Amino acid sequence: MTAHPSPPRRRVTVRAPGKINLSLAVGAVDARGYHELATVFHAVGLYETVTVERAVGLHLHIDSRVPGDVPTDGTNLALRAAELLRSRFTIAEGAAIRIVKDVPVAGGMGGGSADAAATLVALERLWGLGLTADELRRLGAELGADVPFAMLGHTALGRGNGAEVTSVLTTGEYRWVLAVPGGHLSTPEVFARFDALVLQHGREVPAVPEPDHAQLAALRTGDIRQLGATLHNDLEAPACSLHPGLAPVLRAAADSGCPGALVSGSGPTIAVLTEDRDHAERVRRDLDATGLLTQTLDAEGSVPGARIIDED
């Protein structure tokens, strides 16, 4: 990838997508406390839009169109992304960062990771740093395991802790319904429950889990039924044991005759695969009628990663 040195800008807007995991196999814990994963990330058409402008000091404003609280202090991933660039490249300048959120908060859809990815891409341009996409992805990996994928987009295999991403070939169209139940789940707590369940059942976990080759084949051919049959998430059982609202939604999705459904990442959002746009509308209506959900959304799958959409 070549660098794209560009003159500094006054204002840059970047859009980055949320994600679901089409498969997520969990292995052993590494020295940093991360689990080894083999996961297929799939970017969905719900976006975080981040605008950065020149300013003195760092400032953050969040304009959320989805329920849930987002921290605005130094733990916010967008602010951490800005601090990382400033310290790594000794930048004295500041920025005003504004985030318009459309990805469900703490839902297992990587909204915070999308914020970090979009902020890195936007500030790289605002400050004219001339970094390559690879360099930006490596910086993103320091902020969170899902950040590099939010930059890459489309569909990708994630290895290591999820941050080592390789694009995957897909054909056809993917239409999803995202079913958002009330309540939030914490990613570390869901991984800890996974470990506890493994111990309790005396199960073996692979040191390094294998990618799901049947799923990769279904994506290559665009076979929606086959893809539905391969949806799988090792974090689903622990997420369901922490959140009693999930199992009824998974049953309702199965009753709707859709090709497949699963908990997204560490949950609690449930991703329901549908046949096409009309089917998605019907499934969405059926799920709304159950009264089990605070929100349903529909989105296309395999959309691009973080992209500059406006600048001056």
Among 16, 145, 240, 262, binds ligand C5P (CB under 6 A): 145
Q: By CB under 6 A, is residue 115 in contact with ligand C5P?
A: no
Contact track, ligand C5P, 194-233, x by CB under 6 A? ----------------------------------------
Among 17, 18, 107, 144, binds ligand C5P (CB under 6 A): 144
> Among residue numbers 15 through 44, which ones bind ligand C5P (CB under 6 A)?
33-35, 37
Q: By CB under 6 A, is residue 140 in contact with ligand C5P?
A: no
> Among residue numbers 169 through 188, which ones bind ligand C5P (CB under 6 A)?
187-188
Minimum CB separation of residue 191 from ligand C5P in Å reads: 4
Q: What angle do CA 155, 158, 162 make, to 5 degrees?
A: 130
19 is a catalytic site residue: yes
State the number of CA atoms in the 13 A half-sphere of 274 facing the CB. 26
Please name the residue that has the structure tokens 């490596």. 138
Q: Please, what sign has the CA dihedral across residues 188, 189, 190, 192? A: positive
The DSSP annotation for 135-198 comes to: HHHHHHHHH-TTHHHHHHBSEEEEETTTTEEEE----S--EEEEEE-SS---HHHHHHHHHHHH
SS3 at position 217: helix
Q: By CB under 6 A, is residue 137 in contact with ligand C5P?
A: no
Total binding residues toward ligand C5P, as defined by CB under 6 A = 12
Catalytic residue among 101, 102, 115, 146: 146
73 is a catalytic site residue: no
Which residue's CB is nearer to ligand C5P, number 102 or number 146?
146
Q: How many angstroms separate the CA atoms of 278 and 270, rounded?
A: 19
Q: How many angstroms separate the CA atoms of 307 and 312, rounded?
A: 15
Residues annotated as catalytic (active site), given as ranges: 19, 146
Residues near ligand C5P (CB under 6 A): 33-35, 37, 144-146, 161-162, 187-188, 191
